[in-house]
Amino acid sequence: MPQPWSAPLAAAPVQGTTTVPGSKSITNRALVLAALSGRPTTTTGALRSRDADLMVAALRALGVPVEVEGTTIRTGAHGPLAGPAAVDCGLAGTVMRFVPPMAVLAEGRVDFDGDPRARERPMGTVLGALRALGAEVTGDALPFTVEGRGGVPGGAVTIDASASSQFVSGLLLSGAAYERGLTVRHDGAPVPSMPHIDMTVAMLRTAGVVVDDSEPDTWRVEPGPIAPVDWVVEPDLSNATPFLAAAAATGGEVTVTGWPAATTQPGDHFRGILELMGAEVELTAGGLTARGPERLRGVDVDLREVGELTPTVAALAALADSPSRLRGIAHLRGHETDRLAALVAELTALGGRAEETEDGLVIRPAPLRGGLWHAYADHRMATAGAIVGLVVPGVSVDDIGTTAKTMPDFPAMWSALLGAGA
Which residues 6+ apart lie within 8 Å of 341 measured at CB? 333, 356
DSSP string, 19-87: ---B-HHHHHHHHHHHHHH-S-EEEES---SHHHHHHHHHHHHTT--EEEETTEEEE----S-B-SEEE
166 known ligand binder: yes
121 known ligand binder: yes
The pLDDT score that the predictor gives to residue 199 is 97
149 known ligand binder: no
331, 308 contact by CB (below 8 A):
no
Give, in order, the Cα–Cα distances in Å from 377 to each of 57, 237, 238, 403: 21, 21, 18, 8
pLDDT in tens, 188-213: 999 999 999 999 999 999 999 999 99
Same domain, 51 and 118: yes
Cα(209)–Cα(173) distance, rounded to whole angstroms?
A: 10
The answer to the question of residue 14 being in a domain is yes
Same domain, 215 and 241: no
The answer to the question of residue 226 being in a domain is no
Strands annotated E in 154-257: 155-159, 182-186, 211-212, 218-221, 231-232, 253-256
Same domain, 206 and 269: no
pLDDT in tens, 307-326: 999 999 999 999 999 999 99
Beta-bridge mates of residue 184? 157, 219
As a whole number of angstroms, the longest Cα–Cα distance in the chain is 61
The CATH number assigned to the domain holding 251 equals 3.65.10.10
Same domain, 266 and 405: yes
Spell out the SS3 assignment of 318-358.
HCCCCCEEEECCHHHHHCCCCHHHHHHHHHHHCCCEEEECC
The answer to the question of residue 101 being in a domain is yes
Cα(285)–Cα(149) distance, rounded to whole angstroms?
A: 50
Q: Please confirm whether the linkage preceding 21 is cis (ω < 30° from 0).
A: no
- DSSP 8-state symbol, 397: E
The answer to the question of residue 230 being in a domain is no
**Cα-atom radius of gyration of the chain, to the nearest Å?**
21
Same domain, 90 and 62: yes
Residue 150 three-state SS: coil
263, 237 contact by CB (below 8 A):
yes
Residue 181 zone, left/alpha/beta (φ > 0; ψ -120 to 50; rest): left
Query: Which of 236, 234, 231 has its CA nearest to residue 36?
Result: 231
The pLDDT score that the predictor gives to residue 422 is 31
Q: Of 190, 220, 250, which closes a domain?
A: 220
Split into its structural domains, the chain has a count of: 2
pLDDT tens for the 422 residues of the chain, in order? 789 999 999 999 999 999 999 999 999 999 999 999 999 999 999 999 999 999 999 999 999 999 999 999 999 999 999 999 999 999 999 999 999 999 999 999 999 999 998 999 999 999 999 999 999 999 999 999 999 999 999 999 999 999 999 999 999 999 999 999 999 999 999 999 999 999 999 999 999 999 999 999 999 999 999 999 999 999 999 999 999 999 999 999 999 999 999 999 999 999 999 999 999 999 999 999 999 999 999 999 999 999 999 999 999 999 999 999 999 999 999 777 899 999 999 999 999 999 999 999 999 999 999 999 999 999 999 999 999 999 999 999 999 999 998 898 999 999 999 984 33
The answer to the question of residue 276 being in a domain is yes
Same domain, 202 and 294: no
CA quadruple 22, 28, 29, 32: dihedral, nearest 10: 140
Same domain, 194 and 252: no
The pLDDT score that the predictor gives to residue 421 is 37
Same domain, 181 and 211: yes
Q: Of 187, 220, 253, which closes a domain?
A: 220
Cα(164)–Cα(303) distance, rounded to whole angstroms?
A: 14
The pLDDT score that the predictor gives to residue 337 is 82
The pLDDT score that the predictor gives to residue 420 is 47
Q: Of 164, 186, 220, which closes a domain?
A: 220
Same domain, 44 and 149: yes
327, 303 contact by CB (below 8 A):
yes
- Which residue among 234, 253, 305, 308 is the active-site one? 308
29 known ligand binder: yes
Same domain, 202 and 314: no
Active site residue 294: no
The pLDDT score that the predictor gives to residue 408 is 87
pLDDT in tens, 262-312: 999 999 999 999 999 999 999 999 999 999 999 999 999 999 999 999 999
Q: Which amino acid, one-letter code, is at 332?
A: L
- Alpha helix ranges (H) inside 109-193: 124-132, 166-175
Same domain, 305 and 211: no
Structural domain of 265: 5-21+236-417
The answer to the question of residue 228 being in a domain is no
Query: Which of 277, 246, 347, 242 has its CA nearest to residue 11?
Result: 246
Give, in order, the Cα–Cα distances in Å from 290 to each of 259, 269, 277, 280: 12, 13, 12, 6
Buried b (16+ CB within 10 A) or exposed e, 357-383: eebbbbbbbeebebeebbbbbbbbbbb
Same domain, 352 and 409: yes
